[in-house]
Chains A and B, each alone.
Chain A
Amino acid sequence: MLLFVTRRVGTMALTMIVVSILLFILLELTPGNVATKVLGPYSSEEQRRLWLEAHGYFDPIHIRYFRWLGDFIIGNFGESTRFKVPVGDVLWPRLWNTAILGFAVMVVVVPLSLTLGVLAGMKEGSKLDRSISVGSIVFTSIPEFASAVLLSAIFVFYLGLLPGTSGMASGFDLAQLVLPVMVLVLYDFGYVARMTRASMAEVMLTNYIRTAVLKGLPYRSVILKHALRNALIAPFTVIMLQINWLLSGVIVVEFFFAYKGFGALLLEASLNQDIFLIEACAMVAVFVAVGTQFAADVGYTYLNPRIRFS
């Protein structure tokens, strides 16, 4: 087990280093832009040159990379040109906001999609299965920007029931979380539900379930005690991947509802070419991606003893 974890952590570190090199090369190879962004459009050629020199932009690329990496590891991400504050000051609160949004989505998606998936998978081809499957496909096919507009039109403009933006300008407000969560849930639940259904349907066809049914166990305990645990292994991975998706996939929703989260920040940083902020956001996204993958792998071995020691 220890070896397994160590190996996983090693792969994780390696992935992060490769990504950091790619990111560095992509973003820092245009030093002229960095200086213009930091000093503003009215700065002179001379000012820009001096700034680049003072910040070591004329050093060899590998020296710059290691200096950047070193700063990064100790949490010095540089200063955002858009917000005029250290990158960390805007990044962490925004990440926290997205975590709140993501948590709220998960709280709804996980029970909802597991229940629907299990119900559909119990009897493949039944009316219930078909309704749930078709519903899942329909909702998953509607892109977030479309459902955001549609739900806004209904709940904000027509019914006037919900607040139209979710900036939380006067402190946390649960009502402002409703629409963004609704949009994300509609988009996401179908996918997880269908994965659960497929996994459940597969389990239901196995011999040990047939044996359990034939030996006269109540259907209820066949499902809950025998089928469920094995059927949940595949959805578990899918759910872990949703965390990763939520971090960057929320851009549309956060932008639309003016929610002050990580996705909106990433978009704003990109549109304004806020180099240091983009670098930090990208690294955080990569960290979360490999982190959730790691958690999924470890969790998987607990759910499935067959691969625990392989």
Chain B
Amino acid sequence: MKKDLEAILKKPDGKHAHSYVPELADKFVKGEVDRREFLRTATLLGVSASAAYAFAGRATGQSLIPEAAAETPKKGGILRFAMEVQEITDPATYDWTQKSNVSRWMVEYLTRTKPDNVTVPYLAESWEASDDLKTWTFKLRKGVKWSNGDDFNADDVVYNFKRWLDPKIGSSNLSLFSGLTETVETTNDAGETVKQQRMREGAVEKVDSHTVRLHLSTPNLSIPENLYNYPTGIVHRKFDEMGGDLSKNPIGTGPYELAAFSVGEEAKLVRRTDPHGYWGDEPYLDGIHYIDTGSDRSAMMAAIASDQVDGIFEVDVTQLDVVERMPGVTIHSVNTARTGICRMQVDKKPFDDPRVREAVTVSLDHQKLLELGYRGRGVTAENHHVGPMHPEYAEIPWRKQDHEKAKQLLKEAGYPDGIDIQIDVGQTQGPWELATVQAMKEQLAPSGINLKINTMPAAQYWEIWTTTPFGLTSWTHRPLGVMVLNLAYRSGQAWNESNYANPEFDKALDEANGILDPNERRKKMEEVEAILQGDHVISQPFWRSQYVATRDYVKGFATHPTQYHQFQNVWLDK
């Protein structure tokens, strides 16, 4: 590789951000690593996004100059968006993306992952990882002012980490940053010994006023991506002292302030009026008005049809045909890693017998389920919860539907006359869940499996999702395959809903977590995926594509696979 080309990737001090960067660049130039993987890995390792894009452009001979925007953006206007408005008391305990979409205009994140999976600086100006990926140093942006006039600094970041990793707060970030925690045994009031996860002493270090260092116990490449996960918004260092309620005391570093807020009704965000001003480029929009149209997706559709809103949070796949025919409305779609997982608890009857699980999985035709359950709007999946949208995905095609094999397996398992099983469905993400399970019922019948469908309200499903023997759980998009495997299939994790425990799988996953080379990682992932697929823990028919609709005059809009709203470049042409 030419020296001048490599120089693009170096930092101003002439060094590489990480020792692996030259090798990665070399592989990219030789064509062993594709553009998407190169950009993602390089930026995670601390190479600036502009340097990474410039290098990619030069190396592949593409123009460095971005395509000129067709139109000049206009400033002003309020974007009206239909979305559920839920409580936004404490960003650390969010359990819905919608909550973060309201607060993300005030409470910002350390990093930002763009729709193309490239992570760029936000409140953190740059970062560096040690060679073993265990020590991460984040340089924070200077000159950022909170809306109450205070300076944003390292104390804020350390304070937030402490909150996230404090078991008393109850934040899901505790499992996300498991490399910063330790498990201790404590005695509760009743005298019982309980295991508790909490922050390890010295895991988060304040180096100086604008530098924070994380000391992990295991290597982790996705730390910068995790810092854009929706419950990781950075609140003011006196958040708890100031009442611990963002909706009542909305202090933030973002470009907008909360002008009106009412759960179930609306949230109105307008440009900051405090004298300290926003640190970054001013967005084009004067404000964003989130309007709650309830949990019924058809009300959203009616709202955009009658021009009551400029955009809607999600178009349900059953309504696509109607929205596609609406004049003046544009549909934005993206392939995502959102999916429905029919998981079987491997320690509960009758699913404790792997032959029963295999009989279920082998009876299903994923392509048909995709067509019947989600109208063909997605990609078929392979029962291992890693997909083509993940950078480390290795393809292991799923077997053909085989009723004879299923019957034989059931016979061996002691069910020669077939078996009755029941699945719980909460339709937490829409009516497609029921449609899919109904199609499954038809496909299972020829194998002698009689599937009983038990539907319940979403809230009720979330009460039992980790305890029911057989249930359909919706999983949201995560940029990396290993992220969800670590959460949902590793032995003993809180979100391990299938009670799957396989040391061989855990070991392979650990190894995959620490491999930097995308190709090597993929090889290891093939092993990981094969173990999970071969153990028949889940049936995962398909990955769902996602649809968002806006009015034609909404420009610069791009839908994000995580449903996080990024309206920095959005403007209204009217």
Q: Which residues of A contact B (CB under 8 A)?
A: 33, 36, 39-47, 49-50, 82-85, 90, 152, 156-157, 160, 162-165, 167, 169, 255-258, 260, 264-265, 268, 270-273
Nearest B residue to A273, CB-CB? B459
A47-B170, A165-B308 known; A272 and B302 CB under 8 Å? no
CA distance A41 to B306 in the complex (A): 38
Residue among A40, A165, A268, A270 with the most chain B CB within 10 A? A165
Residue among B266, B293, B308 with the most chain A CB within 10 A? B308
Residues of B contacting A83 with CB < 8 Å? 87, 263-264
In contact, A42 and B459 (Cβ under 8 angstroms): no
Q: A42-B93, A165-B303 are in contact. List 4 more A-B contacts (CB 8 A).
A: A33-B463, A41-B95, A41-B462, A260-B265
CA distance A162 to B87 in the complex (A): 30
Rank and list the top 8 A-B pairs by shortest CB-CB distance, nearest first.
A164-B302, A164-B306, A258-B293, A84-B87, A42-B170, A83-B263, A258-B299, A169-B291
In contact, B265 and A164 (Cβ under 8 angstroms): no
Nearest A residue to B190, CB-CB? A49
Nearest A residue to B94, CB-CB? A40
CA distance A213 to B89 in the complex (A): 72
A280 to chain B, nearest CB (A): 15
Chain B contact residue count (CB 8 A cutoff) = 47
A46-B194, A157-B322 known; A84 and B172 CB under 8 Å? no
B292 at the interface (CB under 8 A from A): yes
Residue among B93, B167, B303, B326 with the most chain A CB within 10 A? B303
B551 to chain A, nearest CB (A): 14
A257 to chain B, nearest CB (A): 7
In contact, B170 and A40 (Cβ under 8 angstroms): yes
In contact, A82 and B170 (Cβ under 8 angstroms): no
Residues of A contacting B170 with CB < 8 Å? 39-40, 42-44, 47
Residues of B contacting A255 with CB < 8 Å? 294, 296, 299
Interface of B, helix, strand, loop or mixed by DSSP:
loop
In contact, A273 and B296 (Cβ under 8 angstroms): no
Cβ 8 A contact of B188, one of A46, A162, A164: A46
Q: C-beta contact mask, B456-478 vs A, less than 8 Å → 1, else 0?
A: 01111011000000000000000
Residues of B contacting A47 with CB < 8 Å? 168, 170
Q: C-beta contact mask, B167-199 vs A, less than 8 Å → 1, else 0?
A: 110111010000000000000111000101000
A40-B95, A271-B458 known; A256 and B299 CB under 8 Å? yes
19 contacts across the A-B interface (CB closer than 8 A): A36-B463, A40-B170, A41-B95, A46-B194, A50-B189, A83-B87, A84-B247, A156-B305, A164-B302, A164-B306, A165-B82, A169-B80, A169-B289, A255-B296, A256-B299, A257-B302, A258-B299, A268-B264, A271-B457
Nearest B residue to A43, CB-CB? B170
CA distance A90 to B172 in the complex (A): 28
Nearest B residue to A80, CB-CB? B263
CA distance A41 to B494 in the complex (A): 11
CA distance A257 to B302 in the complex (A): 8
In contact, A152 and B460 (Cβ under 8 angstroms): no
Residues of B contacting A36 with CB < 8 Å? 463
CA distance A49 to B264 in the complex (A): 30
CA distance A42 to B167 in the complex (A): 9
In contact, B293 and A260 (Cβ under 8 angstroms): no
In contact, B265 and A167 (Cβ under 8 angstroms): yes
